[in-house]
Every structure is written in C-alpha cells, then in structure tokens.
Amino acid sequence: MSAKLPKKAICKWDRNTLENALPLLAEQVAHATLICRKCGRAAHEKRLLCKPVRLESLRMGKDGDDS
C-alpha cells in the first residue's frame, strides 16, 4: 500500500484504490474539517473532496444552513 492518498476526489476512486487507501482515509475522517456539499464525504484535506465546505461554517449556520 502506498503511504500517500490519491490526488483525486474520494468519489472518483475505484474500489481497489479505496481498499488500498482505507487506513489513510480513516485518518482523514477522524480529523475531518471539511465535508463535500455534493456527496457528503468528509476529509481533512480539501483536495480529496469535489465540493468542499468547512464544517465550522455549517455549525455556525452559514452556507445556507438554517441552524
């Protein structure tokens, strides 16, 4: 397994890539600061999401959220 995550967005990964990168992906999710507006995936690195939005801005009621 490679020590690096693929450069493309998570939703573009094929099944083999996902299986090989799962431990690294788990680390991303554990420290997630972003969520994808399109597919709902979470990550710490912006490049891994197709439409990233900061979780902090959503918690504060910004970005079209009514909370």
Check whether 67 has a pLDDT greater than 70.
no
In the predicted model, what is the mean pLDDT of residues 20-30?
A: 91
Neighbours of 8 (CB within 10 A): 12
Q: How far is CA 11 from CA 34, 55, 61, 64, in A?
A: 14, 18, 26, 23
Let me know if residue 40 belongs to a domain. Answer: yes
- DSSP per-residue string spanning the chain: --SS--SS-GGG--HHHHHHHHHHHHHHHHT--EEETTT--EESSGGG-SSEEEHHHHHTT-TT---
Domain count along the chain: 1
Q: Which domain holds residue 59?
A: 20-67
More confident residue, 59 or 40: 40
Let me know if residue 41 belongs to a domain. Answer: yes
Query: What is the structure's pLDDT at 62?
Result: 60
Let me know if residue 3 belongs to a domain. Answer: no
Model pLDDT for residues 9-18, shown as the tens digit of each residue: 999 999 999 9
Let me know if residue 30 belongs to a domain. Answer: yes
Let me know if residue 24 belongs to a domain. Answer: yes
**pTM for this one?**
0.69
Let me know if residue 10 belongs to a domain. Answer: no
Let me know if residue 13 belongs to a domain. Answer: no
Let me know if residue 44 belongs to a domain. Answer: yes
Check whether 65 has a pLDDT greater than 90.
no
Query: What is the structure's pLDDT at 1?
Result: 40
